[in-house]
Amino acid sequence: MASAAPPTAATAAPASTGSVADTCAAAKRAARELAQRDTSVKDAALAAIARALRQRTPEILAANGLDMQAGEREGIGDALLDRLRLDEGRIEGIARAVEEIAALPDPVGELIEGRRLPNGLDLRKVRVPLGVVAVVYEARPNVTVDAAALALKSGNAIVLRGSSMASHSNAVLAEIVSTAAVGAGLPEGCVSLVAGGGREELAELATQTGTVDLIIPRGGEGLKAALQAVATVPVIYAASGNCHIYVHAGADLEQALAIVLNAKVQRPGVCNAAETLLVHEGLADEFVPLVLEGLGDAGVLVRADEDTIATAGGDPQAASQQLAGALVEPASDEDFATEYLAPIIAVAIVGGLEQALEHIARHGSGHSEAIVTRDAAAASAFRLGVDAACVYVNASTRFTDGGEFGMGAEIGNSTQKLHARGPIGLRELCTFKYIVEGDGHVRS
């Protein structure tokens, strides 16, 4: 792997060192130019970014090592450390994602609909860039590259604000992306990083009306609340994922077990991991011991309701006990509303589909919900009745991901209903305009 005398991680410069207002104003100027760039130029820039990531992998790893050391000193926890960690394999995966985005159709100029009006005017509704997109994110340095690549391909300038715990990684990655993009013919200011400030800087970014067209926060409920309090710029929240697996009567229990374990264990520190398991009372006697054994073998702590504990032969009043090989604690109502991002899962027995839907409506975050069943009517009722961006039948919630959905990557998963819902990819970073063409038409 080639590497050419990069600067040290400690001295790598971020993509922008100006004020937030100046950075956003520069991004606005860049957005006007970028919207007119041909697909070939944008794709060449993405190819240059992928090459630069591979060439400068040692520098990226050095910067990430500084962030990892700081995170370990501060005790941020295994889930956040996993999100923060980069290695050669992950950097290669990020570079491949950039190339996959380059290979996708350019959404800019895409015809949504068109027709000739009775008066002879030709009306076309076409997709166009939003303009300047700001992304605020926590812990995951790969978002720096994923978000920038999606923004550039969709013709948008981007302003990035990562968390302080990934400051070294983000600075190097943003500089690599910006330098490669501009070197390949994209305008100065198309990729910027604002960093170093606290909540005041976040508030300033969220109030750049007139220069920032959209802000996307990718993080926990604290970040969401902080932005809700101050934002004057339109916001799409890529917020928490309190995802459920509901095992309905008639489920294939071995299949259900595999889905539960994958959704909880494969990577517990991500927003599409399952946090709650709901079990139909009709199969609880058979399935509860089976799933507790599987969760216990995987090192997952179970927080269960009284019915689940009793079904497993335990004492519902005990503070903690081993049941079928799993460590089980009594669950509170708050446990069912918690996004653990850790090897912990809440478990409850429900009376049927309607009770499961009520539980999800009360505690879910609108991210991803799954039912496991061979009952076609129940599966249909679940699909129609659950309110979430992504609904699964007999599949793990872990598939909610822009890459898995063929989008190349994602900026986050929107749990809102307007404009964008689910993975935020290229088309979600566009709006549209009406193009009306005539031949001297005037309205009478």
User: What's the pLDDT tens digit per position in 403-431?
Assistant: 899 887 888 889 888 888 999 999 999 99
In a domain, 131, yes or no: yes
Contact 272/367 with Cβ under 8 angstroms?
yes
Q: Which helix (H) or strand (E) holds 179?
A: helix 167-183
Span of 3-12, 34-43, 63-72 with lowest mean pLDDT: 3-12
Same domain, 230 and 255: no
More confident residue, 56 or 4: 56
223: pLDDT confidence band, cut at 50, 70 and 90? Answer: confident
- The predicted pLDDT at position 16 comes to 52
pTM of the model: 0.84
In a domain, 40, yes or no: yes
Token code pair at residue 365? 């975050």
Distance (Å, rounded) from C-alpha 116 to C-alpha 341? 52
Across residues 263-267, what is the average pLDDT? 95
Cα 436 to Cα 3, 130, 314, 439: the distances in Å are 51, 20, 70, 10
Same domain, 158 and 306: no
Q: How do residues 357-374 score in pLDDT, each as one tens digit?
A: 999 999 999 999 999 999
Q: Which helix (H) or strand (E) holds 163?
A: none
- The neighbouring-strand residues paired with 119 are none
pLDDT(198) > 80: no
Token code pair at residue 175? 């500089």
- The predicted pLDDT at position 92 comes to 97
pLDDT(382) > 80: yes
Same domain, 206 and 261: no
Q: How do residues 285-334 score in pLDDT, each as one tens digit?
A: 999 999 999 999 999 999 999 999 999 999 999 999 999 999 999 999 99
DSSP string, 366-383: SSEEEEE-S-HHHHHHHH
Distance (Å, rounded) from C-alpha 295 to C-alpha 301? 8
Q: Sort strands 326-330 and 301-304 into parallel, antiparallel or unpaired.
A: parallel
Picking from 216, 155, 147, 205, the residue whose alpha carbon sits closest to that of residue 177 is 147
- The neighbouring-strand residues paired with 123 are 115, 436
CATH code of residue 143: 3.40.605.10
In a domain, 8, yes or no: no
Q: What is the domain range of residue 203?
A: 20-238+413-437
Q: Please, what is the average pLDDT of the chain?
A: 92
Same domain, 100 and 166: yes
Same domain, 249 and 110: no
Same domain, 259 and 311: yes
More confident residue, 393 or 229: 393
Same domain, 219 and 262: no
Same domain, 121 and 267: no
Same domain, 226 and 282: no
- Structural domain count, the chain: 2
- The predicted pLDDT at position 61 comes to 98
- The predicted pLDDT at position 14 comes to 44
The burial of 132, by beta-carbon neighbours within 10 Å (0-12 exposed, 13-18 middle, 19 or more buried), is given as buried
- The predicted pLDDT at position 3 comes to 37
Q: Which helix (H) or strand (E) holds 157?
A: strand 157-161
Across residues 22-27, what is the average pLDDT? 96
Same domain, 227 and 250: no
Span of 66-70, 179-183, 215-219, 314-318 with lowest mean pLDDT: 215-219
Same domain, 428 and 391: no
Q: Please, how many CA atoms are within 13 Å of residue 184, restricted to the half-sphere of its CB?
A: 25
Q: How do residues 137-175 score in pLDDT, each as one tens digit?
A: 887 899 999 999 999 999 999 999 998 899 999 999 999
pLDDT(196) > 80: no
- State how far Cα 430 lies from the chain centre: 17
In a domain, 7, yes or no: no
In a domain, 9, yes or no: no
Phi and psi of 428, rounded to 5°? -70, -15
Q: In terms of DSSP H, where are the helices of 57-166?
A: 57-74, 78-84, 88-103, 142-153
